Structure 1
Amino acid sequence: MKITNAKVIVTCPGRNFVTLKIETDEGRTGIGDATLNGRELAVAAYLEHHVIPNLIGRDAHRIEDIWQFLSKGAYWRRGPVTMTSISAVDTALWDIKAKAAGLPLYQLLGGKSREHVLVYGHANGADIESTLAEVGRYIDLGYKAVRAQCAVPGVKGTYGVAKGQMYYEPASSELPEESVWDTPAYLNFAPSLFEALREAHGPDVELLHDVHHRLTPIEAARLGKSLEPYRLFWMEDASPAENQEAFRLIRQHTVTPLAVGEVFNSIYDCRTLIQDQLIDYIRTSVVHAGGITQLRRIASLAALYQIRTGCHGATDLSPVCMGAALHFDISVPNFGIQEYMRHTDETDEVFPHAYSFEDGFMYPGDAPGHGVDIDEDLAAKYPYEPKQLPVARLKDGTLWDW
């Protein structure tokens, strides 16, 4: 089955998405997500000018060989633009292979390891009272796990606090907006939020929290220790993980579970974290970590050390990525949890899909392939809109990690 054509589709039904569609001489097509928030056109250009010309005429069934060609065969390796492009190709090829077999993708990945996929939603508020109410709303919707973020008093633009409910999209302007960060204020405030959440909602709901790389290792250790009484499911991105050794210091001082990896794009980014058991959950995603092929390798490495998956699943990943992730999740033996931020109605219309949510769990569906398609005519009605992610500065003006 030869690849005869491939094209890049850029659309913005509420936010920008990049989709790669691969066509074959047998009439089968597959799609992969190629979205890199704030750098969408860089990936689109990389695909159009460097990747697609190398795909035409290749056997679509040779997924591993194509993956190696695009990864190992390139002199300039890895990086988010390259790996997002490879991820799109890989996901589209798995989609084609499963469609050729007439099976849902998870069957080609070894079949189900579980009946459904535990997911968590995002609850946020301008203050503790509104955050309590929003967590309660998610519990009423059936969620068993909820990520809680709350504005810190006196800190303008605290990470994770959306402008509205359900749909959080930080990329909001053509040039980056600037937010203010105050570490001492945050460290003093965060424990009070989770104390209130446990008092209001009890011990059964799983609570998660995203620090978003804002702390030094010792500050992260302090936060983790202060949150221990409230039994978090995990503390996410506590410190920038480019220095994987930093998590050793955090680990020495707290038993709060640690999750990291949504910005990783290769197995090398997390090798030390996994092999030295410095984290509990690895959060790499299908779209940024080299597709299903490399994500399975990362999961297999993690399984050796009793580390579970917790794939990134924000709204800056298209339904194509969510569909592929759910097939991965339901098949992988060391699955932990899946982030699930709901897309807008416009996005769901552009990307019709087989997956579904019920009572706190997701189901990938049994459609052949990964179960997600794209309505190209409808996608064309939503042209690209330049948007970038914000940056953060300390109160004295120092640029900080966002």
Structure 2
Amino acid sequence: MKITDARVVVTSPGRNYVTLIIETEDGVSGLGDATLNGRELAVTSYLRDHVCPLLIGRDARRITDTWSYLYKGAYWRRGPVTMTAIAAVDVALWDIKGKAAGLPVYQLLGGAARDGAMVYCHASGSTLDELSRDVQDHLDQGYLAIRAQAAIPGLVKTYGIAKASDKADGRIYEPASGALPQEDTWETGAYLDFAPQMMAHLRHEFGYGLHLLHDVHHRLTPIEAGRLGAALEPYRLFWLEDPTPAEDQSAYRLIRQHTTTPIAVGEVFNSIWDCQQLITERLIDYIRTSVAHAGGITHLQKIFALADLYGVRSGSHGPGDLSPVAMAAALHVDLTIPNFGLQEYMGHRPEAAEVFGTAYTFADGYMHPGDQPGLGVTFDEQAAARYPYEPRYLPVNRRLDGSVHDW
């Protein structure tokens, strides 16, 4: 089953998505998501100019060999651009293998270990009362786990707060369009005082039957993160996400010394080496690596297998800035691994449904990838052409004194 064509399509049905299409001599094609939010064209060029020419003539069935060829053979390894490009190829080849076998990808990965994957959504509000209404709305939709974010009093803008007009479409954050990134402001003291108040409010309103999560988004120092985790212990969070920048994995030892609040991290990780210490020293409880940014299904399985040995569970990144192709691939993995924890699901804007057809379903807090052969996702190139690429940037964060802070 030789590969005869590999091409990249960039489209923006509400968000920018980069889709890799691989075709074979047997007439079977596969899809991969190569989207890297804010740096989409870097991955596009990597694929078009460097990777796609290498794929022509290769056997599409040899997934592991192709993965090794692209990773080890490139010499310049790892990094978000390289690993996102490799992920797109890997996922597309799994899609082809499933279609050729007449089986959904999860069956090729060992079959279902559960009936569905519990997912969490995002709720937010400019006030605590508005947050409560949004939480209730998601409970009414059937969600069992909800990430909660509310505007911090005194700050002009707070991460994770959706505009009212966006919430119906599942949009929590919309990158700024234009020539320069949007600049946000941050003040740690106000946040550390407010976050426990927010969780106390939600537990008072909704009790403890709801799984509550919160995203710090890399904003704190290790000791600040320890203080926050300790303050949140009475509210029994499912997890506290990305409390501090994770480049220094040893920093999480300090957080562990100060709190028993479960810690989740890893959406910016690209390989098993980025999280090896965090997992083997049991410094985190959930590893949030993404199928689209960590080398695809082949490499993500290795990360989760390592995590399983140390009692760490999965919590894969699943934002709206990854296409339905990545969401489907994540669900196929979720369904099969023994140490599944939780899957993020933000949904996609209505325009995306014109470009991507999906077989996955949501019911009563759980998602299933469907039983169509392969990933269960279709791609309409003519529809994609109606939504040209739009340059967008993720924001830059500044403290109140004007210095740049982690966003």
Q: TM-score range by the shorter chain?
A: over 0.9
Map of 2:73 onto structure 1:
73
Aligned to 1:287, the other structure's residue is in SS state coil
Identify the match of residue 261 of structure 2 among 256, 259, 262: 256
Give the residue type in structure 2 aligned to 1:167. R
Map of 1:48 onto structure 2:
48
Give the residue type in structure 1 aligned to 2:255. I
TM-score when normalising by structure 2: 0.98
Cα deviation, residue 345, structure 1: 1.2
Aligned to 1:352, the other structure's residue is in SS state strand
Map of 2:114 onto structure 1:
114
Map of 1:287 onto structure 2:
292
Q: Is the 8 A contact 1:170 1:390 kept in 2?
A: no
Q: CA separation in 1, counterparts of 2:34 and 2:361?
A: 22
Q: What whole-Å deviation, never above 9, does each CA across 1:69-103 have from its counterpart, x for those lacking one?
A: 10011111111000000000000000000111000
Pairing 1:323–2:328 present: yes
Cα deviation, residue 173, structure 1: 1.8
Map of 2:221 onto structure 1:
216
Q: CA separation in 1, counterparts of 2:174 and 2:380?
A: 25
Cα deviation, residue 314, structure 1: 0.4
Q: CA separation in 1, counterparts of 2:187 and 2:181?
A: 19
Once the two structures are overlaid, the 10-residue window that deviates more, 172-181 or 145-154, is 172-181
Q: Is the 8 A contact 2:160 2:173 kept in 1?
A: no
Give the residue type in structure 1 aligned to 2:267. E
Q: What whole-Å deviation, never above 9, does each CA across 1:333-372 have from its counterpart, x for those lacking one?
A: 1000000001011112211010011111101100000101
Give the residue type in structure 2 aligned to 1:397. G
Q: What whole-Å deviation, never above 9, does each CA across 1:118-177 have from its counterpart, x for those lacking one?
A: 000000000111011111111111000000000000112111011231312331223210
Give the residue type in structure 2 aligned to 1:225. A
CA RMSD after TM alignment? 0.6
Q: CA separation in 2, counterparts of 1:13 and 1:154?
A: 35
Map of 2:361 onto structure 1:
356
Q: CA separation in 2, counterparts of 1:157 and 1:87?
A: 34
Q: CA separation in 1, counterparts of 2:173 and 2:221?
A: 26
Identify the match of residue 240 of structure 1 among 230, 238, 245: 245
Map of 1:168 onto structure 2:
172
Give the residue type in structure 2 aligned to 1:360. G
Q: Is the 8 A contact 1:106 1:328 kept in 2?
A: yes
Map of 1:178 onto structure 2:
183
Give the residue type in structure 1 aligned to 2:175. A
Q: Is the 8 A contact 1:167 1:343 kept in 2?
A: yes
Q: CA separation in 2, counterparts of 1:266 and 1:345?
A: 32
TM-score when normalising by structure 1: 0.99
Cα deviation, residue 373, structure 1: 1.3
Aligned to 1:10, the other structure's residue is in SS state strand
Q: CA separation in 2, counterparts of 1:349 and 1:311?
A: 25
Give the residue type in structure 2 aligned to 1:72. K
Q: CA separation in 2, counterparts of 1:83 and 1:348?
A: 27
Q: Is the 8 A contact 2:161 2:173 kept in 1?
A: no
Q: CA separation in 2, counterparts of 1:187 and 1:349?
A: 42
Q: CA separation in 2, counterparts of 1:170 and 1:70?
A: 32
Q: CA separation in 2, counterparts of 1:105 and 1:75?
A: 30
Q: CA separation in 1, counterparts of 2:7 and 2:337?
A: 30
Q: CA separation in 2, counterparts of 1:192 and 1:348?
A: 38
* Alignment: residue pair count: 402
Aligned-residue sequence identity (percent) comes to 63
Q: Is the 8 A contact 1:106 1:112 kept in 2?
A: yes
Q: What whole-Å deviation, never above 9, does each CA across 1:245-277 have from its counterpart, x for those lacking one?
A: 010100111000000000000100000000000
Aligned to 1:155, the other structure's residue is in SS state coil
Give the residue type in structure 2 aligned to 1:173. S
Once the two structures are overlaid, the 10-residue window that deviates more, 163-172 or 98-107, is 163-172
Aligned to 1:31, the other structure's residue is in SS state strand
1:117-136 → structure 2 map (5 Å cutoff): 117-136=117-136
Q: Is the 8 A contact 1:67 1:90 kept in 2?
A: yes
Q: CA separation in 1, counterparts of 2:209 and 2:382?
A: 45
Runs of 4 or more, structure 1, over 4 Å off, are none
Q: Is the 8 A contact 1:5 1:22 kept in 2?
A: yes
Q: CA separation in 2, counterparts of 1:227 and 1:324?
A: 33
Q: CA separation in 2, counterparts of 1:345 and 1:298?
A: 33
Q: CA separation in 2, counterparts of 1:200 and 1:309?
A: 29
Identify the match of residue 196 of structure 2 among 184, 191, 200: 191
Aligned to 1:311, the other structure's residue is in SS state coil
1:347-386 → structure 2 map (5 Å cutoff): 347-386=352-391
Q: CA separation in 2, counterparts of 1:10 and 1:301?
A: 34
Q: Is the 8 A contact 1:17 1:35 kept in 2?
A: yes
Identify the match of residue 399 of structure 1 among 387, 391, 404: 404
Q: CA separation in 2, counterparts of 1:77 and 1:64?
A: 16
User: Gaps (5+ residues) in structure 2?
Assistant: none
Aligned to 1:209, the other structure's residue is in SS state strand
Q: Is the 8 A contact 2:3 2:24 kept in 1?
A: yes
Q: CA separation in 1, counterparts of 2:259 and 2:378?
A: 44
User: Gaps (5+ residues) in structure 1?
Assistant: none
